[in-house]
Every structure is written in structure tokens, then in C-alpha cells.
Amino acid sequence: MSKLVLLRHGQSQWNLENRFTGWVDVNLTAQGEAEAIRGGELIAQEGLVFDKAFSSVLTRANRTAELALKAAGQGDLELVRDWRLNERHYGGLTGLDKAETAAKHGEDQVKVWRRSYDIPPPVLAPGGEYDFAADPRYAGQAIPDTESLKTTLDRVEPYWNSDIAPFLKKGDTVLVAAHGNSLRAIAKLLFGIADDKIVDLEIPTGNPLLIELNDNLKAVSARYLDQGRAQRLPI
């Protein structure tokens, strides 16, 4: 039986400002750094020793992983970064204040964009402030201009199958430090959550989710290491 820890990045500056962040590379707040360190301390208390660690290419997830690993006494472990673990791309909503967006488009429409499984926000116009096409981290990649949770899963799942799952299948203990929606995508695979239920899964920032997996990489148990900030799990 293998063990997987899913760790959502700590609070970011745009979490604090209530803005649609997506692929924008904002950093952690002081609270976010403290959450990451606390997560690492809980990992150490649990006696978990990772064989592999994965993250997105975004600073807030990388920083969370690095702080947590250092606090867990595993700061020398290599962190594998890949854009396919990035947050969902919020398209034309990127950078907007969530409350102001709801006032402009209506709360019902914004709820559809944010919480429906397969309806993406409007596309991101090319050439603007948040056009990521020229970012060297995505050179040669066919990157999206908007995503739903479904299309986020469509890019996460192949990476999961090719790069992460093989280590778990041989019994390794693995850390994935990423984002709310890319971690939702992984959780959907592991727990078999229905399309209309996955959007209700809330993953707290900086709280390690420890999952034990069977040989078929299906979850047999799961719990948050900080029970005081735990959310309901589908198991």
C-alpha cells in the first residue's frame, strides 16, 4: 500500500485580495508561509518520509513545497515541477476581483464559471497583461486560453498516469504540492467522485491530505493531518 500527500499551496497574495489567480505567478503571504511550515511539521510528526515530490511551475506551490519539506526535515529532496499541475486557467476572468466580477456579470453567471464542471469562463484575449504564450516555462506547449475543471482534469490525468502513478505503484511515498483545482482533479481520479459532486470538494490551504492507496491506486483511507482545519472527504 502506498501513501500520497496532497498539499494545496498556502494563502497567496491574490487569495487575500479575492482575485481570480489561475496561472498568474503570485507569491505566498506571511500567513501562507506559516501554513506551509505548519504542514511540514505535521508531516514530520506523522513520520512520513517522501521518495518523490511534485509541484506545478508556479511560485506559490513551489514555495509551499519547499517550506513544508524543510520543516519536515526533507529539504534536500528534489522537487519535480510541471505546468500540468498548474491551477485551472481562469481565462478572461484572470486578475479580476471576484466580488466586482459578480456585480458586473451577476452572481449566478459567475457561479457557473467557477463551480460548474464543464463550462469554462470566457477565453483570455491574446496579447494582454496575462497572456502566458511568451512565458518560457510554456515554450513549445499547447497551453489553454481558458479551462473548466473538466479540461483541467484532461491535462492533469495524463501527467498523473505517466509521471506520478508509477512511483505509487511501486510503493513509494509521494508529495504533490499544487492548487485547489489541479488537486481536485487528482482527488476525482482517486476517490471516483461524480462530475456533479467534485466541485463541492474543498481542500484547505496548507493542510496535508494523507491518502492511502491500494494496488489499483484507489483511495482506501484519507484524512487531513490538521483536523482542526479539515473539510469533509468523500470516503
The catalytic residue among 66, 87, 147, 179 is: 87
Residue found by looking up cell 500567513 in the block? 31
Measured distance CA(153)–CA(120) in Å, rounded: 13
- Compute the residue count for the chain: 235
Distance of alpha carbon 156 from alpha carbon 50, whole angstroms: 21
212's grid cell: 492511502
- State the catalytic residue, choosing from 9, 66, 89, 179: 9
What is the SS3 assignment for 208?
A: coil
Give the torsion sign (CA, 85, 138, 92, 158): negative
Active site residue 9: yes
Tell me the β-bridge partners of 212. Answer: 3, 221
Residues 6 or more apart in contact with residue 91 via CB below 8 angstroms: 22, 120, 121, 122, 123, 124, 145, 146, 147
And the C-alpha cell for 133?
A: 504564450
Which residues are tagged catalytic? 9, 87
